[in-house]
């Protein structure tokens, strides 16, 4: 079992930010600046493809959860992303993706294949991170844990939540069902799922098929008009409210 090694700490925007490693994998833990050692629920997030653990989408969602709900929030750099080196396999898959994009060919088959490979590596890393975080007194082994990941974060999150009984509720969205539907059938916790109706990469039927696969008795489908990268910002507010409801917190207004 790997322990959490804090490598740096800073504070801004109402959050304490602690960089750490677990088994050599870099991550970040955000906590409320008012009481960073206070006992509170934990939300694990996973970032999108081509980004990293501190991408503005991650820090922005973290602020909603930390400042608005009083949660602790943690993210790992995915394999081949952020501060982690790319392998020859990573380079080949990224090159294939860019070639398909340049030729106007479908990106889905490449993204599905590559993300499935990354998930195989990332799921045990996320489980190791959760083990290490629950050793911290401000999180503990018995508190509620949520998950939030869109796009590649969903590709990692669905197989992670499918095998991780400690997750209480999860937010997913915007991915193909090909490698994920069978794993989604193993998920029974409450789920909120985002889908873009005019997504140029993921057909509506594909997104609906993935949503339909979840075995959760409580699952909500949030559909908005717009293309793949036009997911409305208010869906982040909705996700924060969803997680707060299931993890036992009240959302406060953000400045």
pLDDT for position 255: 45
Regions of the chain with pLDDT less than 70: 249-255
pLDDT for position 38: 77
pLDDT for position 36: 74
pLDDT for position 254: 52
76 Cβ contact partners less than 8 Å away, ≥ 6 residues apart:
22, 25, 26, 27, 46, 53, 122, 125, 126, 129
């Amino acid at each position: 079992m790997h322990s959490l090694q804090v490598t740096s700490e800073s504070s801004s925007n109402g959050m304490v930010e602690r960089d750490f490693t677990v088994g050599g994998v870099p991550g970040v833990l955000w906590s409320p600046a008012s009481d960073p050692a206070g006992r509170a629920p934990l939300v694990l997030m996973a970032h999108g493809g081509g980004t990293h653990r501190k991408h503005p989408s991650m820090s922005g969602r973290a602020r909603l959860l930390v400042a608005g709900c009083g949660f602790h929030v943690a993210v790992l750099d995915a394999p081949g992303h952020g501060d982690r080196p790319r392998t020859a396999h990573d380079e080949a898959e990224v090159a294939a993706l860019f070639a398909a994009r340049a030729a106007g060919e479908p990106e889905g088959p490449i993204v599905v294949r590559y993300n499935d490979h990354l998930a195989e590596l990332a799921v045990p890393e996320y489980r190791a991170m959760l083990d290490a975080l629950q050793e911290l007194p401000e999180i503990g082994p018995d508190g509620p844990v949520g998950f939030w990941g869109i796009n590649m974060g969903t590709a990692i999150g669905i197989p992670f939540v499918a095998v991780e009984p400690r997750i209480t509720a999860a937010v997913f969205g915007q991915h193909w069902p090909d490698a994920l539907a069978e794993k989604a059938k193993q998920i029974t916790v409450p789920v909120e799922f985002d889908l873009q109706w005019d997504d140029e990469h993921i057909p509506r039927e594909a997104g609906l098929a993935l949503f339909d696969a979840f075995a959760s008795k409580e699952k909500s489908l949030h559909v908005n008009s717009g293309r793949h990268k036009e997911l409305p910002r208010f869906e982040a507010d909705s996700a924060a409210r969803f997680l707060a409801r299931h993890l036992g917190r009240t959302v406060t207004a953000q400045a």
